[in-house]
């Protein structure tokens, strides 16, 4: 049984606090707090360990965010497509890296105290909150995938999800390589390839020649694998 002692003080991001000290706070308060930025394919957007001073909304392209262990093992926690917000951090330092899977256009937002944001632009504040909750929900679904699903089930779930977000079910043009998929699903590229072949042989999907687009032939069967 837990002691009934005072609950730990809840941490919260320093930059959210009203009046938190920030460098380069010389911009006029009225200036739009956003900047358009573009990145080439495979370009880094930020890196584990960087100072976290802003977050982003994807306008075009696909971004991957990931962590790397000391020995090089990589885990991609999410792909971000147009409309998604990513890069909000708890601490002052990046816990993740991000880079462009394909050419990307982003809107960059400087971190800003929540109270200020809620006052200045309540609708946008809502969207930011919503983005955080959506990221959390997706992370939780991904935890289920990684912890308890087989390789084929992982692929089925992934294909349904990415198709839905990128193009609507039916056909996807995958922006990412097999390596990226493997590092997202906790598999090796060989297992990704074999599982796709397996889904193709079962007539659940079709793999056209250039290997980057995938046609979902039997969506209800894929959903069944998705449980």
Among positions 203-222, residues that touch DNA (CB under 7 A) are: 207, 209-212
Tokens 């049984």, residue located: 1
Q: Is 227 in the site for DNA (CB under 7 A)?
A: no
Q: Is 11 in the site for a second copy (CB under 8 A)?
A: yes
Interface stretch with DNA, choices 24-32, 75-83, 119-127, 172-180 (CB under 7 A): 172-180
Interface stretch with a second copy, choices 2-10, 30-38, 43-51, 210-218 (CB under 8 A): 2-10
Which residues in 203-222 contact a second copy (CB under 8 A)? none
Q: For the chain, how many helices (H) and strands (E)? A: 6, 11
Q: Is 144 in the site for a second copy (CB under 8 A)?
A: yes
Q: Which does 92 bind (CB under 5 to 8 A by kind): DNA, a second copy, none?
A: none
Q: Which does 4 bind (CB under 5 to 8 A by kind): DNA, a second copy, none?
A: a second copy
For 57, the enclosing helix (H) or strand (E) is strand 54-60
CA dist., res. 138 & res. 127, Å (int)? 16
CA dist., res. 2 & res. 89, Å (int)? 30
- What is the rounded radius of gyration, in angstroms, for the C-alpha atoms of the chain? 20
Query: Among residues 14, 16, 68, 151, which is the contact residue for DNA, using CB under 7 A?
Result: 151
DSSP-derived secondary structure for 173-223: E--S-HHHHHHHHTS-HHHHHHHHHHHHHTTSEE--TTSSEEEES-HHHHH
* Tokens found for residue 34: 């956003």
Residue 177 sits at φ, ψ, to 5 deg, of: -80, 170
Query: Among residues 35, 40, 43, 132, which is the contact residue for a second copy, using CB under 8 A?
Result: 132
With CA atoms as reference, report the closest residue to 92 among 14, 10, 146, 199: 14
Query: Among residues 177, 217, 218, 221, which is the contact residue for DNA, using CB under 7 A?
Result: 177
Query: Among residues 47, 95, 197, 227, which is the contact residue for DNA, using CB under 7 A?
Result: 197
Which residues in 14-33 contact a second copy (CB under 8 A)? 16-18
Which residues in 151-210 contact a second copy (CB under 8 A)? 175, 183-186
Q: Which is nearer to DNA, 88 or 171 (CB)?
A: 171
Query: Residues 63, 98: contact at Cβ < 8 Å?
Result: yes
For 221, the enclosing helix (H) or strand (E) is helix 219-226
Q: Which does 21 bind (CB under 5 to 8 A by kind): a second copy, DNA, none?
A: none
């Amino acid at each position: 049984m837990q002691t009934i002692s005072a609950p730990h003080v809840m941490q919260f991001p320093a930059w959210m606090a009203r009046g938190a000290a920030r460098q380069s706070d010389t911009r006029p308060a009225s200036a739009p707090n956003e900047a358009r930025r573009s990145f080439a394919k495979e370009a880094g957007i930020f890196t584990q360990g960087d100072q976290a001073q802003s977050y982003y909304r994807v306008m075009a392209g696909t971004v991957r965010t990931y962590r790397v262990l000391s020995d090089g093992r990589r885990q991609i926690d999410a792909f971000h497509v147009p409309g998604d917000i990513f890069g909000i951090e708890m601490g002052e330092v990046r816990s993740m890296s991000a880079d462009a899977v394909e050419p990307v256009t982003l809107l960059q937002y400087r971190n800003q105290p929540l109270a200020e944001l809620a006052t200045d632009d309540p609708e946008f504040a809502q969207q930011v909150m919503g983005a955080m909750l959506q990221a959390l929900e997706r992370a939780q679904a991904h935890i289920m995938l990684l912890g308890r699903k087989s390789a084929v089930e992982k692929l089925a779930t992934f294909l349904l999800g990415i198709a839905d977000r990128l193009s609507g079910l039916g056909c996807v043009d995958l922006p990412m390589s097999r390596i990226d998929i493997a590092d997202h699903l906790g598999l090796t590229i060989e297992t990704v390839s074999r599982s796709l072949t397996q889904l193709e042989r079962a007539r659940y999907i079709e793999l056209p020649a250039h290997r980057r687009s995938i046609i979902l032939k039997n969506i209800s069967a894929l959903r069944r694998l998705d449980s």
